Structure 1
Amino acid sequence: MAPKTASSIAFVCTAWSLLYLIYGNTPRGKSWFGHVTSKVLSDSKAVPIITLAAPLLISTSACILLHRRSSTNSHNKSQPLQPIMRHWKLSFRHGSNTRVNIVSFLIVFVPCLCFFVSGIYRQLRDQRLSFDYMTEICGKSFGILSAVSLSFFLVPVARHSPLLKLMDWSEVEAVTIHIWAGRLGIFGAVGHGLIYMGRSIMQEESVMSMILPPLGCWRIFATQTFDPTHMDSMAELSCYCHFRNLTGFLAAAALCIIGITSISFVRRKCYRLFYSLHVLLGPFSVLMAVFHWKRMMLYLCPSIIYYLASSVPVFMQQWMCYRKNGVRILSVAELSSGVNGDGAGSCVSVDINASERCMETLRPGQYVKLCVPEISLISHPFTVNACEGGGIRIIFRAAGPFTRALAKRLCHPSAATAPTGTMPKVLVDGFYGTQHRCRQVLSHDVVLIVAAGIGITPYLSLITDLVTMTSPESPYRPQTQVFLHWVCRDESLVEYVSRKYFDPLVQDQWLGQLDGMPCCVSIKIHKTTGSSRSQISISPTRTCTGNYSTIFYGEKETEHKSLGLDSQGVPMIDSRFCAGTNDSVMKNINHFLTFSFIACLSLLSTYLQYRSLTSKTAIAPRTYGLLATLVISLSISFASNALVDDDQSNDTILSSLGQLYDCAKLWLNKIILRKCHPSELEFERGYKEIQSELSLPNPNSSDATGGRHACEHDECFGSHRDNTSEITAPTSLSR
């Protein structure tokens, strides 16, 4: 029921925002939305807060609180009666790039285009307007188009985006919405700038003189006494107009550079350049846009607040893990030495210690984002699988600069620049990806999986779960037949994967024949090493021997001492700020309060900062809302992570909340009893009855096991004792 409520709230909020984009810029729509906003905020120009920011943050808060994790075998019960909405979400996830682009086009492009066209029509209905005024109106409309399209472009790229979890959309496919919103924002910014430049050229004014402030304005900056109304003798505009033009040009230029580096060809060839420019020029363009227009922060605050409220707590959790020497690595296995013996192309397996709750959250096909600050500050995605001993395993091939450096650092720690025998600090953030991979497979009668080389990793845990479901002990026997064909030329990788994942299934006789029925899972390995090619079919009698060298540390004491390895670190815990990973609403309280406090305080500070701008030419106060949002996000994220630093502290806090609730209930009942039963004897009887009903310890007892209750009833509520040793409360006592 709770997930349906969250979906309903998200649907209503999305419909409200889309109604504003489609109808809100028409003559009647602008008047109506302005009237509603003036009733709520006493300012008709703060419409984006009511129509864009508030719906987004409210729906996200509801999603975080009400979205719970489904059971592992829920596909068995929900598949036959799957709702239309679920089918649509699965279709979106399974769809081709064309379908994803169509959905993104309908969600982003069409509403923003309606907002743009209706705004121009509303302001240009009078045909007697001058050409200069119409040009100015078109330029402003392009600028507002850019602001509106950028109001939600950060939602798909936030860490553990709650709305994507609710809709069960993949981060890889949902980023298409980010791309469409970014393209539309760049289009609007460029159109806004070109129209105003063309207007200046038609008025026989120099474009460079319009953008670059004259020398007099720079002198005012140098003396730190900037006067926006200052008019230089060599210019026709004030210093504020020059400053506004300069910041607008810089914001548009930064967006254009980001757009060029985001082209598929450039991004694939120069990913490090693409990522670095995104990190540097993204905040720079936002800052320049806020300087450029007084109301820009009202349009950007939904996207910025959502991103900070979702991502900063995750970054803070990673930072606290870094202070504890990162996650604890159990073992490292180098499966091969590479083609040329330099480690390039070699496969490495890393086992990482994980908490029990983390293993309960892991689903087949999911991945984590791994960061090694010693090598790179960029987080890289890696597929994870469960390993024996209660941990996760990452198998990767050293193909790129990061993976080669990571393989060298893990397999040969003494050869690195770090102290001899020490492991690097590894930060792991997860889990990402869909939680319903098995459901997707079981929705078909026959499934064919073809994997090549290291591409087998996303299917290892999936095959294990599917085979487990066909075991005699499993009550659920699906009729889906799965055929896995794995083509690989690395013999050591084949032997390692077979020994770790396929052979245990064979030894348990879960492959081949099952109670006289044909097997539901068939695995065939095609080895293509050199000129000899062979095909291996997994059967119950097959055994395999490994040909690899393994480095252990932390768990095996002899190898640890001989190699002098450092096994410091903490077990990996899944992100506590990921929606849909807990099985109860109470466990979502921490994430809900963190997001809600950041969102509410940031939105309030943004609105107060906008209301405080009494002067149109005020520049520095425009950044106060942005700075306040950043400070609020960091402060609340640090406090939230510090309070629930581990599972034991989290349980303690939940227990304390329950005790506080019981104390509050006891206090209210005490007030009611005092009014209903003024006599001391009747009050004591009712008080003891309520106390035993709530299973609270007796505040008068001082036994060694119970001690005193957390709320200290005697201090809070006073002491009411008598000399009666045993009092029987009447059954008709009013509570």
Structure 2
Amino acid sequence: MLILLPISRNLISFMRGASICFRGPWRRQLDKNLKFHKLVAYGIAINATIHVVAHLCNLERYHWAQSAEAEGLLAALSKLGDTPNETYLNPIRTFHTSTITETLTTISGISGLLISLALTLIMTSSTEFIRQASYELFWYTHHVFIVLFISLAVHGAGRIVRGQTPESLSRHNVTFCRDHHVEWHTAARCPVPQFSGKEPSAWKWVLGPVVLYACERIIRCWRFQQEVVITKVVSHPSGVLELRMKKRNFKMVPGQYILLQCPSISSLEWHPFTLTSAPQEDFFSVHVRAAGDWTEALCKAFGADGQPLQGPRSLPRVAVDGPFGAALTDVFHYPVSLCIAAGIGVTPFASLLKSIWYKCCEPQTQLKLSKVYFYWICRDPRAFEWFADLLLSLETRMREQGKAHFLTYHIFLTGWDENQAFHIALHWDENTDVITGLKQKTFYGRPNWNNEFRQVAYSHPSSDIGVFFCGPKALSKIIQRMCRLYSSADPRGVHFYYNKESF
């Protein structure tokens, strides 16, 4: 069943994006199952390696069986097939045959080599370094699994693995024939055994996943044809482009992402972008920062002045697939939530904070969530000025609604130069922060997580606190350790539940 892996991510992504079919715990469980994607992929790679090594060892054993030193049953079985009334068991017919040549001149050998190369390419191009350095290389190379599936389907057609036929087995006393193999041609109880290749069956395992993948591709093509209307294009500082779009029957939850394609830039490339709008808004949006060839071309194609579009047809067409992912939805299932973002990991929280604001403003909505702590650690906030503007808007709205206590946020700046430090010190006594313009002043340096978790635990002594993190692995391990450290052994005490958003 491991062969289901190459399509599992696409299939589960589609299933978790189907808001009508999968709701609540089912959708959250599908999101958590994606964590096993890499683990099972590594399991397939290890299994394939063992498979290849076993074949090579068997070929060497077959080769040695044709040597003059071979004797006994092994030599007798290897010599079968030299006369017209015999069938062979050993595919290496002479000792002078090269095992490498034999491997590369058979259907099984060629297809096995293609399977090994395809797996190697898929695994190596899936590393985090390759994905960050060249997402296009990862994307295109990952589709080598098509070659993998075809090769796997025909791999058994070579019938290199052979065995005794059922008819031959029915005429033999296996124990007697094993001990009296020298009498095969004369003993009535032991006629010459007949062999044939095993019936290929790999196609049976490939057929199901291929059908599922074909269905998923058909659905994606259907989504590709659906019209996406761009309602507004906003150009933010630091080279960030905001696209606001509408699409028929588009439903989302906070924290989801979409796959975006612009055919005028590339007809094959789909790039993931986190949704930054709230479900309550009448549009969905993404923020794109020019950080590569494709994103630079997209920003160039969508020159924006921040005003509603007068001629949407003059802009390049975009296609949207999704939405996918919904791990952050669990924020609303805890009375207290602790949200921690580092750098670009702040993007998924834009939609979440907007959604929290809308839910707070709906008088008929009864929320289990009563308090949100938000931490943002960044080296250069100017790269995410659009998010600082969002925080400023939320801060103003919540203060006007008398709910300023609902959201407590802390921004930590980890990088600055001498000129910035002088400017910060000069304007420190002002009512708003000199960096972000917010009422809450920016902290400088890295947070002391022991102090932060201790304070939260002290403020909510008998609560279940959901911790949601999006950022680098090193910080993730620290946050996870803090959750274990400050969770009480008493069932009536405070408990921190760690949730990591894959980004």
Q: Compute the TM-score of the two structures, normalised by the length of structure 2.
A: 0.57
Determine whether 1:523 maps to 2:409.
yes
Structure 2 unaligned regions, length at least 5: 67-94, 157-199, 306-312, 425-433, 441-503
Aligned partners of 1:394, 1:257: CA distance in 2, in Å?
A: 31
> Residue 198 of structure 1: SS of its match in structure 2?
helix
- Work out whether residues 464 and 501 of structure 1, in 8 Å CA contact, stay in contact via their aligned partners in 2: no
In the alignment, which of 244, 248, 255 is matched to residue 351 of structure 1?
244
> Residue 353 of structure 1: SS of its match in structure 2?
strand
In the alignment, which of 376, 381, 389 is matched to residue 272 of structure 2?
381
Per the alignment, residue 8 of structure 2 pairs with 155
Deviation at 1:298, TM superposition (A): 0.9
Determine whether 1:191 maps to 2:44.
no
Mark the CA change 1:278 to 1:200 in structure 2 (over 3 Å): closer, same or farther: farther
> Residue 390 of structure 1: SS of its match in structure 2?
coil
Deviation at 1:206, TM superposition (A): 0.1
Per the alignment, residue 172 of structure 2 pairs with none
Per the alignment, residue 371 of structure 2 pairs with 481
Determine whether 1:314 maps to 2:178.
no
Determine whether 1:252 maps to 2:252.
no
Aligned partners of 2:393, 2:12: CA distance in 1, in Å?
A: 37
Determine whether 1:362 maps to 2:266.
no
In the alignment, which of 259, 272, 297 is matched to residue 203 of structure 2?
297
- Work out whether residues 150 and 181 of structure 1, in 8 Å CA contact, stay in contact via their aligned partners in 2: no
> Residue 31 of structure 2: SS of its match in structure 1?
coil
1:292-328 per-residue CA deviation (whole Å, 9 max, x = no partner) reads: 212111122232222222x12322213423xxxx522
1:583-622 per-residue CA deviation (whole Å, 9 max, x = no partner) reads: xxxxxxxxxxxxxxxxxxxxxxxxxxxxxxxxxxxxxxxx
Per the alignment, residue 427 of structure 1 pairs with 319
- Work out whether residues 276 and 351 of structure 2, in 8 Å CA contact, stay in contact via their aligned partners in 1: yes
Deviation at 1:254, TM superposition (A): 2.7
> Residue 7 of structure 2: SS of its match in structure 1?
coil
Structure with more of its chain in strand, by fraction: 2
- Aligned identity (percent) is 19
Aligned partners of 2:383, 2:356: CA distance in 1, in Å?
A: 25
In the alignment, which of 38, 46, 62 is matched to residue 176 of structure 1?
38
Alignment of 1:350-499 (within 5 A): 350-355=243-248, 357-358=249-250, 361-376=251-266, 377-386=268-277, 390-411=282-303, 422-434=314-326, 437-443=328-334, 445=336, 447-471=337-361, 473-478=363-368, 480-487=370-377, 489-491=380-382, 493-494=384-385, 496-497=386-387, 499=389
In the alignment, which of 250, 274, 280 is matched to residue 138 of structure 2?
274
> Residue 386 of structure 1: SS of its match in structure 2?
coil
> Residue 11 of structure 2: SS of its match in structure 1?
coil
Deviation at 1:431, TM superposition (A): 0.9
Mark the CA change 1:150 to 1:196 in structure 2 (over 3 Å): closer, same or farther: farther
- Work out whether residues 246 and 283 of structure 2, in 8 Å CA contact, stay in contact via their aligned partners in 1: yes
Aligned partners of 2:46, 2:229: CA distance in 1, in Å?
A: 44
Aligned partners of 2:223, 2:16: CA distance in 1, in Å?
A: 22
State which drifts further: 183-192 or 527-536: 527-536
1:452-503 per-residue CA deviation (whole Å, 9 max, x = no partner) reads: 5544321122123323444472452546421223456455853x44555642
Deviation at 1:349, TM superposition (A): 1.1
> Residue 394 of structure 1: SS of its match in structure 2?
strand
The one-letter amino acid of 2:254's match is: P
Mark the CA change 1:411 to 1:453 in structure 2 (over 3 Å): closer, same or farther: farther
The one-letter amino acid of 2:231's match is: L
The one-letter amino acid of 1:334's match is: S
- Work out whether residues 155 and 161 of structure 1, in 8 Å CA contact, stay in contact via their aligned partners in 2: no
- Work out whether residues 5 and 37 of structure 2, in 8 Å CA contact, stay in contact via their aligned partners in 1: no
Alignment of 1:45-84 (within 5 A): none
- Work out whether residues 329 and 350 of structure 1, in 8 Å CA contact, stay in contact via their aligned partners in 2: yes
The one-letter amino acid of 1:451's match is: A
- Work out whether residues 259 and 273 of structure 2, in 8 Å CA contact, stay in contact via their aligned partners in 1: yes
Aligned partners of 2:330, 2:354: CA distance in 1, in Å?
A: 14
Mark the CA change 1:258 to 1:352 in structure 2 (over 3 Å): closer, same or farther: same
- Work out whether residues 245 and 284 of structure 2, in 8 Å CA contact, stay in contact via their aligned partners in 1: yes
Instruction: State how many pairs are aligned.
Output: 335
Taking only aligned residues, the RMSD between alpha carbons, in angstroms, comes to 3.6
Structure 1 unaligned regions, length at least 5: 1-147, 214-241, 339-345, 414-420, 541-735
Aligned partners of 2:365, 2:16: CA distance in 1, in Å?
A: 34
> Residue 10 of structure 2: SS of its match in structure 1?
coil
Mark the CA change 1:191 to 1:153 in structure 2 (over 3 Å): closer, same or farther: farther
Mark the CA change 1:184 to 1:327 in structure 2 (over 3 Å): closer, same or farther: same
- Work out whether residues 14 and 322 of structure 2, in 8 Å CA contact, stay in contact via their aligned partners in 1: no
Mark the CA change 1:159 to 1:312 in structure 2 (over 3 Å): closer, same or farther: farther
Mark the CA change 1:498 to 1:260 in structure 2 (over 3 Å): closer, same or farther: closer
- Work out whether residues 5 and 41 of structure 2, in 8 Å CA contact, stay in contact via their aligned partners in 1: no
1:176-207 per-residue CA deviation (whole Å, 9 max, x = no partner) reads: 35424532442344234323432344343302
1:494-553 per-residue CA deviation (whole Å, 9 max, x = no partner) reads: 3x4455564266246466x44xxx71212345677744444658569xxxxxxxxxxxxx
- Work out whether residues 289 and 295 of structure 2, in 8 Å CA contact, stay in contact via their aligned partners in 1: yes
Q: Compute the TM-score of the two structures, normalised by the length of structure 1.
A: 0.40
> Residue 333 of structure 1: SS of its match in structure 2?
strand
> Residue 157 of structure 1: SS of its match in structure 2?
helix
Mark the CA change 1:539 to 1:254 in structure 2 (over 3 Å): closer, same or farther: closer
Deviation at 1:290, TM superposition (A): 1.7
Mark the CA change 1:475 to 1:379 in structure 2 (over 3 Å): closer, same or farther: closer
Mark the CA change 1:276 to 1:505 in structure 2 (over 3 Å): closer, same or farther: same
Aligned partners of 2:121, 2:329: CA distance in 1, in Å?
A: 41
Aligned partners of 2:109, 2:241: CA distance in 1, in Å?
A: 53
